[in-house]
Amino acid sequence: MFEIYKAINNQLNEALDTAFAKEALAAKEAGESLDPQLMRASKPEFGDFQVNGALTLAKKIKQPPRHIAETIIRQLEKNSRFNDLCYPPKLAGPGFINLTIKNESLIQELSVRLKDKHLGVPRVTNSYTEKKLKPIIVDFSSPNIAKEMHVGHLRSTIIGDSIARVLSFRGYEVLRLNHVGDWGTQFGMLITYLKLVIPEALTTANLINIGDLVDFYRKAKKQFDDDEYFQQCSREEVVRLQQGNKESLEAWRLLCEQSRQEFQKIYDRLDIKLCERGESFYNPFLMDVVTDLKELGLLVEDEGAQCVFLEGITGKEGKALPLIVQKSDGGFNYATTDLAAIRYRLRFPPNGDGAGRIIYVTDSGQANHFSSVFQVAKRAEWIPEKCKLEHVPFGLVQGEDGKKLKTRSGETVRLKDLLDEAIERAKVDIEKRLHEENREESQEFIDHVSSTIGIGAVKYADLSQNRTTNYQFSFDRMLSLQGNTAPYLLYALVRIAGINRKGGDFDIFKKPLQFSKPQEWILIRELLKFDDVILVVEEELLPNRLCSYLFELSQTFNRFYDQIPVLKAQEPARSSRLALCQLTRDVLKKGLDLLGISTLERM
């Protein structure tokens, strides 16, 4: 109800400015304004909105709060647009004003949304600013070559995808960047090791699979730590690679391709689109980072390394911590790459992306890395005005025992196995249910439903948690038909599809809408919150807000449907209630789509 909120807020401001003209002027001169503090009512019995401002304004205006509230109410009631929108305001407690939207206004808003493909969510448009809106970059997933993609990357992939979907829905141009770890010392190690044990793998495509590659990587790392000569060779190999030696580059390319194919399989199963732009892309810009920081006077040499000493980030003895941008051996690191990436992403095309907002989705363990890198970029004045860099951190994935997620035999869980198991378990549930209900369904149906539920459940379980906390992975919980789960939401949609099949025609609402039951009004109010929720997710980048809303909406719908006849009702109640079913379906479907979850007609 963002539009309604805005209208009421304007009317309130007008009322304040008129009733307290002197104080409003004084506030304006002090660079402030009289804030009515309009917010959603904290309890349904307070109506739809409450105005809390009178209490804080009491000091400024030097009148008792109740008196201020009364004056505002009198002023509001003179405004015919306000009277069209709301019932007479109610004064409550020490000076609160409760506002309730008129039924006619709700019905009007409902009719608009029934016809609106965007379901009432405002679109950002270029015409707002007359300038072209800058694109938003979502940097997510970002696994590392030659290493297995782990559950942390899965979280980043699922959360990042949902954030990107919400922003696109709002009308932004979104760049979904996969900042793959495809450059750096690990390749020196890996190539040196493969040269020793299986040199053909460096010239022939698909000779080794990802499992082997991960294993080779582990062994290479061990030898690197134990063997000085091997270390030396690895370093030389990195230099060859960085200098563009043809053979080394070819070997590197093959290794990347091998991993890429493996990552793609996961993305395909999750239906996630990403644009790969790995660390290697920024290689040509790394030296500029160092040169420019030096020119700006920000660089300090410390034990042979080039670094920037961070402000406000101190180590053990209270000394400022350095951010190393060039190691003593001349090499660059993760931070240098991120600094180069920031510059490229903010710089205008054709030499950059011209982004206005960059969102990084990684585990909270990287919080220090990002705050350091952002600080250096800021001090170097590489961040244009109004551009925002945001780290979107998330907690660890834990097993049901609260410890790091492991297989029964104690190994790290492979994503492929995890998704397989979710689908397999969903299938067992469905087969059991079909048996109980005496239903016959084709194998194709069972496969489709179990894969939709299995993948949906994994995504939803992750997204419905506040991402900043650690998250306990439980197949039983995520696949349950009860509670805040994907199957519960999918089932609400299946119910609505059933109403539709049983003769409740949607999409033909010629009759006027008419409602009489409290359950109907509750559902209407819930439906009209969709736009507010999307705006909050855009602002806070917390998809769990959307999940909670969809869960609440499903519960409200189920209560409505259990307590009130729809198909058996008389007109105009029948078609009015069907209209509520239709909008519930559309909002749920869109909401799930924004979470990256596909829906079902039957299950």
Residue 362 found at the interface with ligand ARG (CB under 6 A): yes
- Strand, helix or coil at 601? coil
Is residue 188 within 8 A of residue 235, CB to CB? The reply is yes
Residue with tokens 């134990």: 226
What distance in Å separates the CA atoms of residue 536 and residue 545, rounded to the nearest whole number? 8
Is residue 344 within 8 A of residue 353, CB to CB? The reply is yes
CA 81 from centroid of its chain's CA atoms = 37
Give the pairing type, strands 275-276 and 357-363: unpaired
CB of 353 to ligand ARG, least distance (A): 13
Residue 142 found at the interface with ligand ARG (CB under 6 A): yes
Identify which of residues 65 and 143 has a Cβ nearer to ligand ARG in the complex: 143
CB of 177 to ligand ARG, least distance (A): 8
Angle at 205 between CA 200 and CA 207, to 5 degrees: 60
Of 278, 405, 257, the residue nearest 334 (C-alpha): 278
CB of 154 to ligand ARG, least distance (A): 12
Stretch that binds ligand ARG, among 92-100, 141-149, 263-271, 429-437 (CB under 6 A): 141-149
H and E: helices and strands count for the chain: 22, 14
Give the footprint of ligand ARG on residues 206-225 (CB under 6 A): none
**Sign (positive/negative) of CA torsion 82, 85, 91, 95?**
negative
Angle at 167 between CA 268 and CA 173, to 5 degrees: 85
Report, in angstroms and rounded to the nearest whole number, the Rg of the chain calculated over CA atoms.
Answer: 29
Stretch that binds ligand ARG, among 66-74, 135-143, 225-233, 250-258 (CB under 6 A): 135-143
Identify which of residues 352 and 483 has a Cβ nearer to ligand ARG in the complex: 352
Q: Which residue of 20, 96, 217, 360 would you call a contact of ligand ARG, by CB under 6 A?
A: 360
Task: Using CB under 6 A, count the residues that bind ligand ARG.
Answer: 10
- DSSP single-letter state for residue 245: -
Q: Which residue of 65, 181, 454, 456 would you call a contact of ligand ARG, by CB under 6 A?
A: 181
Stretch that binds ligand ARG, among 95-103, 138-146, 242-250, 581-589 (CB under 6 A): 138-146
CB of 184 to ligand ARG, least distance (A): 10
What distance in Å separates the CA atoms of residue 8 and residue 14, rounded to the nearest whole number? 10
Identify which of residues 146 and 293 has a Cβ nearer to ligand ARG in the complex: 146
Is residue 114 within 8 A of residue 585, CB to CB? The reply is no
Tokens linked to 312: 């406000």
Tokens linked to 124: 């950002």
CB of 357 to ligand ARG, least distance (A): 14
Of 122, 109, 48, 118, the residue nearest 579 (C-alpha): 109
CA 363 from centroid of its chain's CA atoms = 14
- Strand, helix or coil at 306? strand
Give the footprint of ligand ARG on residues 105-134 (CB under 6 A): none
What distance in Å separates the CA atoms of residue 544 and residue 159, rounded to the nearest whole number? 10
Identify which of residues 344 and 521 has a Cβ nearer to ligand ARG in the complex: 344
What distance in Å separates the CA atoms of residue 536 and residue 527, rounded to the nearest whole number? 16
Identify which of residues 23 and 338 has a Cβ nearer to ligand ARG in the complex: 338
Residue 139 found at the interface with ligand ARG (CB under 6 A): yes
Residue 184 found at the interface with ligand ARG (CB under 6 A): no
Residues marked active site are found at 147, 150, 153
Identify which of residues 304 and 365 has a Cβ nearer to ligand ARG in the complex: 365
Q: Provide the edge-to-edge strand list for the sheet that holds 174-178.
A: 275-276, 174-178, 136-139, 357-363, 388-394
Give the footprint of ligand ARG on residues 543-572 (CB under 6 A): none
Burial of 439 (0-12, 13-18, 19+ CB in 10 A): exposed
Residue 280 found at the interface with ligand ARG (CB under 6 A): no
Residue number of the CB closest to ligand ARG reads 142
Is residue 210 within 8 A of residue 258, CB to CB? The reply is yes
Identify which of residues 324 and 578 has a Cβ nearer to ligand ARG in the complex: 324
CB of 428 to ligand ARG, least distance (A): 33
CB of 280 to ligand ARG, least distance (A): 12
Stretch that binds ligand ARG, among 50-58, 106-114, 142-150, 231-239 (CB under 6 A): 142-150
Give the footprint of ligand ARG on residues 334-353 (CB under 6 A): 338, 341
Identify which of residues 306 and 362 has a Cβ nearer to ligand ARG in the complex: 362
CB of 354 to ligand ARG, least distance (A): 18
Identify which of residues 257 and 295 has a Cβ nearer to ligand ARG in the complex: 257
Write the interaction track for ligand ARG spanning residues 144-163; mark x where CB under 6 A is met and - where it is not: x-------------------
- DSSP single-letter state for residue 284: G
CB of 241 to ligand ARG, least distance (A): 18
What distance in Å separates the CA atoms of residue 572 and residue 511, rounded to the nearest whole number? 7
Residue 262 found at the interface with ligand ARG (CB under 6 A): no
CB of 412 to ligand ARG, least distance (A): 14
Identify which of residues 147 and 448 has a Cβ nearer to ligand ARG in the complex: 147
Residue 259 found at the interface with ligand ARG (CB under 6 A): no
What distance in Å separates the CA atoms of residue 272 and residue 554, rounded to the nearest whole number? 26
Identify which of residues 49 and 140 has a Cβ nearer to ligand ARG in the complex: 140
What distance in Å separates the CA atoms of residue 359 and residue 159, rounded to the nearest whole number? 11
CB of 392 to ligand ARG, least distance (A): 11
Amino acid letter, 177: L
Stretch that binds ligand ARG, among 137-145, 404-412, 443-451, 516-524 (CB under 6 A): 137-145
What is the end-to-end Cα distance of the chain in Å, rounded? 33
Is residue 499 within 8 A of residue 578, CB to CB? The reply is yes
Residues that bind ligand ARG (CB under 6 A): 139, 142-144, 179, 181, 338, 341, 360, 362
